Structure 1
Amino acid sequence: MRNFTVIISFSLSLTTNLSAQTKDTLRTDTSRPRIRDLKEVVVESRPPIRMKGDTVEYNAAQYKTRENAVVEDLLRKLPGVKVDQTGNITAQGEKVARVLIDGKEFFGNDPAIATKNLPADMVAKVQVLDKMSDQEEFTGIDDGDKVKTINIVTKKNSKKGYFGNISAGIGPDGKYDAGLNINIFAGEQQLSLLFKANNINKSGFSASELIRMLSANPELFNNLPATAIAELSKMKGVRINSDDPAEKAQLARPTGINNTQYGGVNYNNDWGDALKLRSSYFYNRFTSRNSYNYDRHYLLPDTAYNYLQNGISLQENNNHRGNAALDIKLDRYNSLKISPAINHNTSVLKSNRSYLSYTADHALLLNQGEQVLNSNNTNTNAMADILFRHRFSRPGRTLSLTVTPGYLRLENDGLNIARNEYYNLGTRDSINQQTRGHSDNYTLNNNLVYTEQLSKHTALRLTEQFNISQGDYEQLAYNINHDDGAYNVLDNRYSDVYNSVVTRNIADVAVAGRYKKFIYTLGLSVENSGLKGSSDYKTYRLSGNYNTFLPHLYARYRFSKSSQLTLNYNSNAVLPGLNQLRPLEDISDPLYIRKGNPDLQQAVNHDLMLAYLSNNIYSNIFTNVQLRISVIRNQFTDYYTIDSAGRQLISPINANGYFSGSLHAERSVPFGGGGSSLTFGAELSYNRYPGYFNAIADKIRQWGITPDINFNYYPISDLSMTIRGNASWNDRHSAANSGTSQQYWFLNYGLDLMANLPWKLHGDAGIECYTSTGLSGAYNNTVALLNTGLSREINRQLSLRLEAHDLLNQNKSFNRLARNGYTEDRQNNVLGRYYMLSLICKLRHFAKNNHSTLK
C-alpha cells in the first residue's frame, strides 16, 4: 500500500441579516475576517514497513500486543527482529547493541532496560538502522564502523507530558512483582524514573556496563587476574567467550531462582545544537540460587571418558553505574564532547559441588571429589571519552582528537576447600586455601583523525592511535594452619606479585569515494604492539613485540531506494593476555589445572560480511541475506594433557586452521490484511577448528542448519495470533576419531493468542515448547510451557490482571555445550508454576495537539 496524505480544509461563509449597528461595527473593524477557517484534519495511511534511506521503519500500530505490554513484546512481532529468552535482540541477522528513545540514549547502552520497561502503547514507529559512530557522522566518511541500533519513536502526543505505569502483583508462596516507571517528556527534555522488584526471574537489564567496557578493550580484559575473570563470568547476564572457538549449540531456559531489585534515573536535554546532555544512574541487585547436574562426554582420539558433576550455588550481586555525555558546540567550526562513566560492582558467591569421572563403558571409576568455593569480589571502573572536533573552512577538511583515560580496581577474597580421590593411582589429595588479591590497571587511549577532500567524489582519512595500559597485580594464596585454624601459611606455588605494560600504536591510511549509488572506503593499518610483564616474586620476564599489516574495506551499492548490497571486510590483531603468558598454575578446579604459555604469539582475525537488504514498500516484502566468513591466524586454543586418573593440565597454544562461515536468509511477506505477515528464514553454518589432546592434533568440523518461521495473523480487529518455530540441527565430526561423530536437534515452537473480549476484558494465552534429541537419555525430552492471562479495565487508569505461568508445571532447563574435545549436557533448576494477581495503574497526561491525526 502506498503512503498517502490527504489534507481537508473547510471554509464557511456567513450570510445573514444584520442590524445597522452591527454592520457599522464590521465596516470599521476590518481586521475581523468574514471567512472562518476550521482546524486542519490530516488523514494518513502508512504501510507496516518502509525504507527511509538505510533505515527500516515499522509502523507500530500494525502490530498488536497484549494489554500492558512492554516494548520487548512489540519487537517480537516485527518481521526481521528476534528477541531471545534473555532479552538479547537480533535485527537483520545482527545483534542490536543500542536502543534509543526519540534518538536519545536511555539508561546508557543497555538495550534491555528500555525494551523490558517502557510501555508498548507509547510507540508510534520502530526504526532499525546501522548507526554511525561519532567519528563517521563528523567526517562523513562511511567505513562500516556502525552499531546495529533500534530507535523507538514515540507518538506525537507523547512529546509533552508524562506517561508510565505503577504495578503491584502478588501470588502464592510469597511470589511478588512490583514496579514504577514514570517518563516525563517536555520537548527536548526527557526525565525517566524506574524502580522494579520481583522474585519471578524477571530481569530489567542484561550484561553489566563493566563487562561491556572490558570487552571493548581486549588488552585490559585479558590482563585481569584469572580469579577475577572467573568471578566476572559468573555474573548474571554475562557471557565471556573462551579462547576455544567451538560453537555452542544450546537451548537455554532461564536458570535458578532469582530475586531482583533495580532502579535508576535517566535525564536528557537538548539546548538547541549548542549544548546536549545525556545522563543516567542505574542500580541493580539480585540474589540467585541454582542447583545443577552436568554430564560431560570426552571423545578424544586416544581416550574417551565421562565426567559428571552436580551442586548448588548461591550468589548476590550489587551494581552501581552512572554515565553522561555532554556535547558542546563551541562555534561553527569547533565542538567538544565529554562522556564520563563509572561502574562499581560487588559480588558474593558460595558454591558446593561433587564430581566424578569414569570410563566411557561405565566399568571403571577414575576419580571423585567434592569442593566448596566462597568468594567476595569488588571492582571499580572509571573512564571518560574526551572528543574534540574541528572543521576547517575548506569543505571536507576536519581534525578530531579523542583522549580516553581509564582506571580499573579489583579486589578479591576467596576460599577453596576440595578433597579428591584418584582410584587408578590409589592416591588422595586435598586443598584448604584462601586467596587474597587486588589489582590496579590504568589506561590511556588516544586517537587522532584528519580528513581531506581530494576531489568531488574522493576523500582521504589519516588516523593515528596510541594506547597504553599499565597494571599492578598481587595474588597471594594461604593454606590453613592446622595448629590455630587460621589461613596464614603462604603457598608460594600459587602466589604472585607482578606488573604489565601493554602498548599499541596504529597508523591507518584510508581513501573514501562516493559515485552516485556506490560508496566505498579502502584502507590499510600498520600496527605495532608491545607487551611486557615481570615478576620479582617469581623471577620471570615476559615480552613480545609485533608488527602487523591490517587491511580493511567497506563498500555499498544501492540498487534503488529500497535495496542495497553491502561488503564489509575487517582485520584486527589480538594480543595474548598476561594470564595466558604467565607460567603459573591455577588450581581453582583441582581436576582442570591451567598454566600459561610464555611462547604464545598474537592472533590475527579476518572477518568478511556480504549482505543484501531489500524492502519493497509497495508490496511490503522484506528480504535479508547475509554471508559471513571468519578466519583466524595463530588462534589461541587449549592444549590438553590428560593423565590416567582423569586430571587435565591445560595450556594455551597458537594454532591455525580456524574457519567459520554462515549463510543467513529470511523473507517477510504480507498475509491478507490488517498487518498480518509471514516471515520465514534459515541459516546454514560451518565451523572448523583445531584441537590438541595428549600430543594428538585433531580437526573438529561442525555443520548447523537452523530454519525458523514466524506468522503474525490478525483475522479480525479484536483477535491476533502468532505462530513461531525454529529448529537447530548440529552435526559434529572429529578428523582423528571418526567414531565420535554426533548429531542432535533442538526445536523451539509456540503459539500466542490475544483477544479483546466483552465487558472490557482482554485475554491472552500462549504455549512455548522445547524439544531436544540426540543428547544423553535424561536430557532428551519435550517441555511445554502454558501461560495465560486475563485483564479487566476498571477505568481509564486502572486495570486488574490475573495470570498463570507454566500451568502444566513442566518447566526445565537443559542445553548442550559443544566444546574443544567434549560435549556437555546441562540441566539447572528453574522457576515452576506460579500465579499472579496484579493491579496496574496507567499514568498518561499529554498536552493537546493543534491537529488531529487519523491513522
Structure 2
Amino acid sequence: MRRILILLLFIASQYVHAQQVITGIVVDASDNKPLVNASVVVLNTDSIMQQFARVGEDGKFQIKKVARGKHLLLVTYPKFEIFSKEFEVVSSDIKLDSIKINSQSNLLEEIIVTQKIPIKMKGDTIEYDASSFATEKNAKLEDLLRRLPGLTVSNSGEVTAHGKTVSKVLIDGEEFFGYDPKIAIRNVRADAVDKVQVYERKSEQAELTGIDDGVRLQTVNVVLKEEARKGIFGNANASVGTKELFDANLFAAKFNQSERIGLTGSWNNMGNQGDASMIRMNNQIIGKPEHQSAGINYENNFLKKKLHMTSSYGISNNGNANESESYNKQVLGENKTQETSRKSQSENNNLNNNLRAQFRMKIDSVSNMNVQLGGSKGRSESSSLSSSETFRNEGLRANEFNGNNSTETDNGSLNVRMDYRRRLNQKGRSMNLHLSNDYNNSESTNLVDETTKLYDRLGNDSTTIHVNQTRLNETKSNGFGAALNFSEPISERIFLTLGYSFNTSKRTGLVDAYNNTDNTQGLDMRYSKNEEDKNNNNSADVNLSYRADKFNINLSNRTTYRQQQLSDSYRDIDLERSFWQNNFNTNISYKISNSKNLTFGFQNNTNVPSFQQLQPLQPPTNELYEQIGNPDLKREINNNFNLSYNRFSLLKGSSFNVNGSISLMDNAIVNKSVVDDKGKTTATFVNINDKLNWNARLNANYGKPIFNGVMQFGPYSMISYSSNYLYINGDLNQNITTNANVGINGNKQSSKGVDFNFNLGIGLANEQNSVQSRLNNTSLRSSANADLKYYLPFKFSLTQVLSYSFTGKNKIFPEPIHQFYMNLELTRKLLSSESLLLSVKAFDVFNSFNNTQRSFSESNFSETRQQMLTQYFMVGLKWDFNKNLGKKND
C-alpha cells in the first residue's frame, strides 16, 4: 500500500510543476467577428485529450495547466473548417496569434485537415477510437479496454462499462467463441481494433420476438480494422512449476474477410481458470484439479452473403479431488443452539461436449429467418466420503452421520429455435413467427451407504438408521413453444405489436431405490418416485412504443393462463392446478443532452410455485432432512423499479453514473423449517400472506482522467437495504440487513515507467433479527488490491500484485479474518519482434493467504476450510504470432 501512495505522490509532483497557460483568440476569417463558444482542445501526441476550453464573447480563450512537451491544438465550430496546430510548451506561457477559420460555405476546395476524435457519441452509443489509446506491442483487447475511460476489466476478465456489467463482447457485431466471451478479450490483438462501441441492447428473446421483456444488456462491440479482417494470429504458452504444476494454452485464428476460424486448447492441473499467465488473478489452487479443453469456432457467409453462419464446438474434461472441514452454528431459540462439525473428501470428473450454431438468412428483400441450434452430451462421475456430528446446547450429542456415496451420470440436451420475420405491405408493418423445442435427458446410478445415529434428549441412547441402496434415476423433459406477433405503425412515432404465444412441456422423473442389504432386497418406496409433470401456457402479448428525438417509451404486457398437472404413481399423487400470470414492463429513456441520459424501468411479474414446491411428499435426501411440499401454495407478486442517470463528457473523458432499484415481493414463497431435538430438519413451503419483503439498492461511480489524462481515477459508493420475512425454527422472523461500501479506484496504462491498477474499499454490514435480537450484529470489512508493472531496461518488466482483505468479527466468531497475498512476475521480451516472452512467476510469495471462508445469515453462522495450494513458483514461455493481421499493405 505504501508503494501505491508513494507512486501517486511522485506522479502528482511531476505534473503539479512545469505547467503553463495557453491563451489566444478565435475569429471568423471573413469578418474577424468572435466565434463564441467554439471548442478549443489540447491533445497529446497520442491524440488523447488533455485540456479543453470554450471561446468567450470577446473571442478569447485560456487553457491552464498545460504540461511541458509537444501538443496539438484543435479548434472546432459548427459549419466551419477544423483548425489544428502543433505547439510545444517549454518553460513559459504561450500566447497564440489570432486564429482565423473559414466557414465551410466560403471554402472553394474540400477541407483536407482531418483529426481523429478519441471519443464520439452516436445516438445511445459511445464510440472509442482505438488508435487514440496507445498500447504495448503485441497487447491484447483486454489491455486496450483497460485504457478506455469509463471501462474497467477485473483481474478475472469481467468487463464493466459505465458502472454496469458487460454481458456480451462482440467482434464486428458477432459472438466470437460464444460459450466464453473472455476468449475474445484475451486473444484478439489490440492493434487490429479500429473502434470500440458501448451500448445497451434488448435481450436476445426480445430482439427476436419483438416483445420487450424489460431486460437491458450492457454490450461491447469491437470493430476491427479493414486490414485486420484478413490474416492469421494467435498465441501459445507453456509453464511448469513447483508441486508438479503445469499449464499449456493455445489459441489460433484465421480471418479472411467474412470467414473466421478459431481454435483453442488448454491443459493444466491448476483448475479450469488455470492460465498461469494471468498473474493478476487470485491463483489459489483448490484441491487437486485437472482441466483439459478444446474448441473450434467457424463463421462465414454463403449464397452471395444472403446466409450468415456462426458455429462453435467445445469439449472439456474437468476433474478434482478435495478435502474440507466446516463448522456451523445455528441459534434456534432462547437457550437452544445446534453446532455441527463436518469433514468430507470428494472426487469428481466431468466430460462435456457442446455444439452451437446460428444461421441468419435473408430470404428476399422483405423477409429473413434466424435459426439457432444447440446440443450437449456429457458424462460425470463423483464420489464423496463425509462424516459429521451435531451437538445441541453446546454439550448434548444430537446425532452422528457417516456417508459414502458415488454417482455416475449421462446427460444430453438438444434445442432448436427458429424466427421468421417478414415486412408486410404498409411501411413499418411486419410479422414475426417464433418456434422452439427443447429436449433434455439424464440417467444416473447412485450408490448410497449412509449411517445415522439419533440420540435422545440427554444425549445418551441412540437409534441407528442404516441406508444401503442403489438408486436408478432417469429424468426426461421436452418443451415446445410457438409465438406469432404482428407489428403496426400507428403513426410516425408510435408502434404497436400484438401477439399470441403457446408453450407446453412434459417432464418425467423416475427414481427406483433398491435396498442392497440381504434381508430387505427390493424397491424401497420411501426413497422412490415416478413423477410426470405437465404444464400448458397460453399468453396474449401487447407492446406499445413511442420514439422521439429525446424520449423513448416502451410498454409491454403478457397475460398468461397456466395449467399444471402433477402425478406420481408410486405415491398416489394426482394434483392439478391453474394460475393466471401477468408480466408488465415499462422502459422510459430521456436524452437530456448528447452526454446525459435518464432511464426508468418498471417490471411487474408473478411467479407461480414450482412442482417441487407443490408436491406434498418427496423422497428424503437423508435421514436428517425432510422436505414436504405444499399443494395450497399461491403465486408471489414482484414489483421492480429501476432508475439510472448517466453522464459522459467527451471533452473531459469523464463519466458519472447513478443506478438505483427497489424490489417489492408480496405473498412471498419461503421455506419454513423446524429442527427437532435430534437435529433433524423438517421443511415445507409457505406464503408470507400479510407481510411485504422488499429491498433497495443505490450505487454511484465517477471516473475522470487526471494528470493530463495519464491516470484514470474514480470514486464509487453503494448502499443497500433489505427487509425480509422468513422463518427461524418455525418462528416468523423479520430480517433487516443494511450494507454500505465506499471506495476509490485508479489506473495508469501508458506502457512507460510504471503502470498500475488499484482499488481501495471499505464497507459496513448491519444485520437485525426480530426473533434472535441478541445476534444483531454490525461488522466491518475492507479490501485493498493493486497491481503494478515496472518497465525496466533491456526489455525486462516486473509485475507486482498485492491483495488484502479484512472481515470483521461477529457475535459467534470473535476473531476477524485477515487475508493477504503478493504475486510477482519477471518477464523478458525476446526476438526483434518482441513476440516471445520469458517469465518467472511467484504466487503468494510470503505464504500468507488465510484459507478460512466465513458466512452468516439470520441465525446461521459457518466457517469452512478446504485443501488449498497457495504458494508456488512457475517458469514459462509465451509466443505471439501474427501474419498480416492489422498490417496495411504497401
- Category of TM-score, reference length = shorter chain: 0.7 to 0.9
Amino acid at match of 1:806: D
Q: 1:55 to 1:8 in 2, by over 3 A?
A: closer
Alpha-carbon distance, 1:433 to partner: 2.2
Is it true that 1:447 corresponds to 2:483 in the alignment? yes
Structure 1 equivalent of residue 780 of structure 2: 745
- For residues 746 and 618 of structure 2, what CA distance do their matches in structure 1 show? 53
Is it true that 1:703 corresponds to 2:735 in the alignment? no
Secondary structure at 1:599's aligned position in 2?
Answer: coil
Which deviates more from structure 2 when the two are superposed, residues 464-473 or residues 599-608? 599-608
Structure 2 equivalent of residue 650 of structure 1: 683
Larger radius of gyration: 2
Q: 1:799 to 1:45 in 2, by over 3 A?
A: same
Amino acid at match of 1:808: F
Alpha-carbon distance, 1:275 to partner: 1.6
- The partner residue of 1:263 within 287, 290, 294 is 294
Is it true that 1:170 corresponds to 2:240 in the alignment? yes
- The partner residue of 2:433 within 401, 404, 411 is 401
Is it true that 1:839 corresponds to 2:870 in the alignment? no
Is it true that 1:581 corresponds to 2:651 in the alignment? no
Which deviates more from structure 2 when the two are superposed, residues 626-635 or residues 127-136? 127-136
Contact 1:7–1:41 (CA under 8 A) maintained in structure 2: no
Alpha-carbon distance, 1:781 to partner: 2.4
Structure 1 residues 264-320: Cα deviation after superposition (integer angstroms, max 9, x where no partner): 100112356522111100111111122222222323345333222222221111111
Secondary structure at 1:739's aligned position in 2?
Answer: helix
Structure 1 residues 528-539: aligned runs within 5 Å: 528-539=561-572
- For residues 63 and 373 of structure 1, what CA distance do their matches in structure 2 show? 56
Structure 1 residues 150-549: aligned runs within 5 Å: 150-155=220-225, 157-203=227-273, 255-271=286-302, 274-302=306-334, 303-359=336-392, 362-425=394-457, 426-427=461-462, 428-482=464-518, 488-549=521-582
Amino acid at match of 1:679: G
- For residues 451 and 595 of structure 2, what CA distance do their matches in structure 1 show? 65
Alpha-carbon distance, 1:192 to partner: 0.6
State percent identity of aligned pairs: 26
- For residues 115 and 204 of structure 1, what CA distance do their matches in structure 2 show? 17
Alpha-carbon distance, 1:846 to partner: 1.2
- For residues 517 and 211 of structure 2, what CA distance do their matches in structure 1 show? 65
Contact 1:116–1:204 (CA under 8 A) maintained in structure 2: no
- For residues 114 and 204 of structure 1, what CA distance do their matches in structure 2 show? 17
Alpha-carbon distance, 1:382 to partner: 0.5
Structure 1 residues 686-733: Cα deviation after superposition (integer angstroms, max 9, x where no partner): 122221234421111111112232111358823212221233432111
Contact 1:42–1:851 (CA under 8 A) maintained in structure 2: no
Is it true that 1:558 corresponds to 2:596 in the alignment? no
Contact 2:301–2:309 (CA under 8 A) maintained in structure 1: yes
Structure 1 residues 55-74: aligned runs within 5 Å: 55-58=125-128, 71-72=141-142
Contact 2:366–2:422 (CA under 8 A) maintained in structure 1: yes
Structure 1 residues 472-521: Cα deviation after superposition (integer angstroms, max 9, x where no partner): 221111222236xxx95311111011201111122122221123200101
- For residues 516 and 112 of structure 2, what CA distance do their matches in structure 1 show? 82
- For residues 130 and 516 of structure 2, what CA distance do their matches in structure 1 show? 63
TM-score, normalised on structure 1?
Answer: 0.84
Structure 2 equivalent of residue 809 of structure 1: 847
- The partner residue of 1:782 within 818, 824, 835 is 818
- For residues 677 and 339 of structure 2, what CA distance do their matches in structure 1 show? 13
Amino acid at match of 1:55: T
Contact 1:282–1:322 (CA under 8 A) maintained in structure 2: yes
- For residues 859 and 540 of structure 2, what CA distance do their matches in structure 1 show? 40
Amino acid at match of 2:258: E
Amino acid at match of 2:655: F
Structure 2 equivalent of residue 663 of structure 1: 698
Secondary structure at 1:257's aligned position in 2?
Answer: coil
What runs of 5+ residues in structure 2 fail to find an aligned partner? 1-40, 48-73, 85-110, 276-281
Q: 1:105 to 1:763 in 2, by over 3 A?
A: same
- For residues 217 and 542 of structure 2, what CA distance do their matches in structure 1 show? 22
Secondary structure at 2:848's aligned position in 1?
Answer: coil
Structure 1 residues 594-609: aligned runs within 5 Å: 594-609=627-642
- For residues 194 and 869 of structure 2, what CA distance do their matches in structure 1 show? 35
Alpha-carbon distance, 1:429 to partner: 2.2
Alpha-carbon distance, 1:98 to partner: 2.1
The alignment of Structure 1 onto Structure 2 pairs a total of residues equal to 772
Secondary structure at 2:289's aligned position in 1?
Answer: strand
Q: 1:811 to 1:437 in 2, by over 3 A?
A: same
Q: 1:703 to 1:721 in 2, by over 3 A?
A: same
Secondary structure at 2:184's aligned position in 1?
Answer: helix
Q: 1:401 to 1:593 in 2, by over 3 A?
A: same
Structure 1 equivalent of residue 654 of structure 2: 621
Q: 1:698 to 1:531 in 2, by over 3 A?
A: same
Amino acid at match of 2:375: I
Contact 2:265–2:293 (CA under 8 A) maintained in structure 1: yes
Contact 2:213–2:556 (CA under 8 A) maintained in structure 1: no
Which deviates more from structure 2 when the two are superposed, residues 436-445 or residues 665-674? 665-674
Contact 2:228–2:887 (CA under 8 A) maintained in structure 1: no
- For residues 531 and 387 of structure 1, what CA distance do their matches in structure 2 show? 27
- For residues 74 and 365 of structure 1, what CA distance do their matches in structure 2 show? 60
Is it true that 1:731 corresponds to 2:801 in the alignment? no
- For residues 165 and 749 of structure 2, what CA distance do their matches in structure 1 show? 28
Which deviates more from structure 2 when the two are superposed, residues 753-762 or residues 613-622? 753-762
Alpha-carbon distance, 1:850 to partner: 5.6
Contact 2:377–2:413 (CA under 8 A) maintained in structure 1: yes
Amino acid at match of 2:587: Y
Alpha-carbon distance, 1:172 to partner: 2.1
Contact 1:595–1:650 (CA under 8 A) maintained in structure 2: yes
Amino acid at match of 1:260: H
Secondary structure at 2:482's aligned position in 1?
Answer: strand
Is it true that 1:791 corresponds to 2:827 in the alignment? yes
Which deviates more from structure 2 when the two are superposed, residues 149-158 or residues 509-518? 149-158
Amino acid at match of 2:236: I
Structure 1 residues 552-572: Cα deviation after superposition (integer angstroms, max 9, x where no partner): 211100011221111111223
Alpha-carbon distance, 1:93 to partner: 4.2
Secondary structure at 1:717's aligned position in 2?
Answer: coil
What runs of 5+ residues in structure 1 fail to find an aligned partner? 10-39, 206-250
Secondary structure at 2:869's aligned position in 1?
Answer: coil
Contact 1:80–1:679 (CA under 8 A) maintained in structure 2: no
Q: 1:85 to 1:273 in 2, by over 3 A?
A: same
Amino acid at match of 1:744: S
Alpha-carbon distance, 1:68 to partner: 7.0
- For residues 518 and 328 of structure 1, what CA distance do their matches in structure 2 show? 33
Q: 1:600 to 1:189 in 2, by over 3 A?
A: same
Structure 1 equivalent of residue 867 of structure 2: 829
Amino acid at match of 1:256: G
Q: 1:70 to 1:731 in 2, by over 3 A?
A: farther
- For residues 411 and 772 of structure 1, what CA distance do their matches in structure 2 show? 43
Which deviates more from structure 2 when the two are superposed, residues 793-802 or residues 577-586? 577-586
Contact 1:179–1:195 (CA under 8 A) maintained in structure 2: yes
Secondary structure at 2:182's aligned position in 1?
Answer: helix
- For residues 410 and 274 of structure 1, what CA distance do their matches in structure 2 show? 38
Q: 1:204 to 1:614 in 2, by over 3 A?
A: farther
Q: 1:820 to 1:402 in 2, by over 3 A?
A: farther
Amino acid at match of 1:162: I
Amino acid at match of 1:392: L
Amino acid at match of 1:816: R
Alpha-carbon distance, 1:324 to partner: 0.6
CA RMSD of aligned residues (A): 3.1
